[in-house]
Amino acid sequence: MAAEMVNPRSDSTSGSIGGGEGAGGVTDGEPFDPAFALHRGGKMAVQATVPVRDRDDLSLAYTPGVAKVCSAIAEQPELVHDYTWKSQVVAVVTDGSAVLGLGDIGPEASLPVMEGKAILFKQFGGVDAVPIALECRDVDDIVETVARLAPSFGGVNLEDISAPRCFEIERRLQERVDIPIFHDDQHGTAVVTLAALRNAARLTDRALGQLRAVISGAGAAGVAIARILTEAGIGDVAVCDRKGVVSPEREDLTDVKRELAGFTNKAGLTGSLEGALDGADVFIGVSGGTVPEAAVAKMAPGAFIFAMANPNPEIHPEVAQQYASVVATGRSDFPNQINNVLAFPGIFAGALQVRASRITEGMKLAAAEALAAVVADELSADKVIPSPFDERVAPAVTAAVAAAARAEGVARR
């Protein structure tokens, strides 16, 4: 799979909206838009890795030579990893129900994002990926469809599927197939958040076990962050949704939130997000909205504020910096960007390298520690996480995930 950062099918007049032509990409008075120019014709293409120049090449790449390989795989199914692209390719699957900050825009409108995800796999992890947008919303249908596609891929990256359906889809798919199923909106965000938090704690000479965190947002990312922080040994973490702190006393909890209430909030907090922030060491925002400055001011001295909503963080960095020792966002125009591209390419590269059957909690923790270690000797308030363009990231995460997979017994080579 050739992931082209510049579309070879584009030309200088193809940047206008709606397919019209005009000098400089102007159509019906609309100005040239480089985003449309780049996306015209798609952002990726399939490219052969072997030559087909003559009859001999054709006879090897296709019939009759291909029949020998097919027969060998039929006798020894594991050979599919050696003689096809299976161990090098991931399916990027969505139903278009929760796309970036755009919400439920449907499968067709989600394709530019899925293509983008695929080229990030290639650019940052050397992993080929195929975007697949499904015209179905039923959990049973999605699980059945992806399970039937699984023989073609070494792993499945679930993308932009709304909660709580995403939790069930991931769980049931992993029960059905023996390749890694990874919902990046959950676990990629969680891995990068943990890495940044580890380094923020190191920078300020604290341990995770000393910290009390509050997460704003009980969707896919919020649940996964709470889970990985708990696995990593956070002192305490409370998760808040629109109605306040998720706690066992509430009678309106979904099954996912009821499970969440069972392993979070040791302090027994109830009530609002603002109340939970009183004395908190860490704020993690994955919800949108705005947190009042008065609530931020009541956080513990030297707090960490990770306000990751895009494009508008829950707490603007200029406000956060007045009260926090470390500030992170999801934006590229501020320091410490919590960006999933730091995690998912290396995680899948490591899993594919050892033909892992799944991605375990231990593999995610190993990815977070490796990611944090990349800049462990360079820490500052503006650098607790590497840049997405730091070439050390993917190799470090890949190696750590592969080693963890072997240690946990899910590697097959």
Return the domain boundaries, the chain: 85-179, 185-413
Q: Residue 336 annotated as binding?
A: no
Identify the pLDDT of residue 202: 97
Q: Residue 226 in 3-state DSSP?
A: helix
Residue 25 pLDDT > 60: no
Report in angstroms the alpha-carbon separations of 320 from 91, 205, 295, 356, 369.
38, 20, 11, 41, 26
Residue 362 pLDDT > 60: yes
Distance CA 321, CA 304 (A): 9
Q: Per the residue annotation, which of 43, 86, 117, 122 is the catalytic one? A: 117
Residue 145 pLDDT > 80: yes
Q: Residue 159 annotated as binding?
A: yes
- Read off the pLDDT of residues 89-106 as tens digits, 9 standing for 90 and up: 999 999 999 998 789 999
Residue 28 pLDDT > 70: no
Distance CA 14, CA 157 (A): 31
Q: Residue 265 annotated as binding?
A: no
Q: Is 379 exposed, middle or buried (0-12, 13-18, 19+ CB in 10 A)?
A: middle
Q: Residue 310 annotated as binding?
A: yes
Distance CA 303, CA 165 (A): 34
Q: Which of 372, 375, 360, 363 is nearest to 399 (CA)?
A: 363
Q: Is 234 exposed, middle or buried (0-12, 13-18, 19+ CB in 10 A)?
A: buried
Residue 252 parent element (H or E): none
Identify the pLDDT of residue 6: 36
Q: Of 12-26, 276-290, 291-305, 375-389, where does mean pLDDT reach its minimum?
A: 12-26
The pLDDT confidence band at residue 30, using thresholds 50, 70 and 90, is low
Q: Which of 258, 5, 257, 279 is nearest to 122 (CA)?
A: 5
Peptide bond into 311 cis (omega under 30): yes
Residue 57 pLDDT > 80: yes
- Read off the pLDDT of residues 235-249 as tens digits, 9 standing for 90 and up: 999 999 999 999 999
Is there a contact between 89 and 153 (Cβ–Cβ < 8 Å)?
yes
Is position 383 annotated as part of the catalytic site? no
- The dotted CATH code for 185-413 is 3.40.50.720
Long-range CB pairs of 136-141, under 8 A, 24+ apart, other chains included: 136/95, 137/95, 137/97, 137/165, 139/165, 139/168, 139/169, 139/172
Identify the pLDDT of residue 2: 42
Q: Per the residue annotation, which of 62, 68, 83, 266 is the catalytic one? A: 62
Q: Residue 11 annotated as binding?
A: no
Tokens in use for 376? 């462990």
Distance CA 232, CA 143 (A): 30
The pLDDT confidence band at residue 23, using thresholds 50, 70 and 90, is very low
Is there a contact between 106 and 96 (Cβ–Cβ < 8 Å)?
yes
Distance CA 92, CA 105 (A): 17
- Residue count of the chain, please give it: 413
- Read off the pLDDT of residues 366-409 as tens digits, 9 standing for 90 and up: 999 999 999 999 999 999 999 999 999 999 999 999 999 999 99
221-234 mean pLDDT? 97
In the chain, % of residues over pLDDT 90 = 89
Give the domain 85-179 fold: Rossmann fold (3.40.50)
- Read off the pLDDT of residues 60-74 as tens digits, 9 standing for 90 and up: 999 999 999 999 999
Distance CA 320, CA 242 (A): 21
Give the number of other Cβ atoms within 10 Å of residue 262's Cβ: 9
Is position 62 annotated as part of the catalytic site? yes
Give the number of other Cβ atoms within 10 Å of residue 213's Cβ: 27
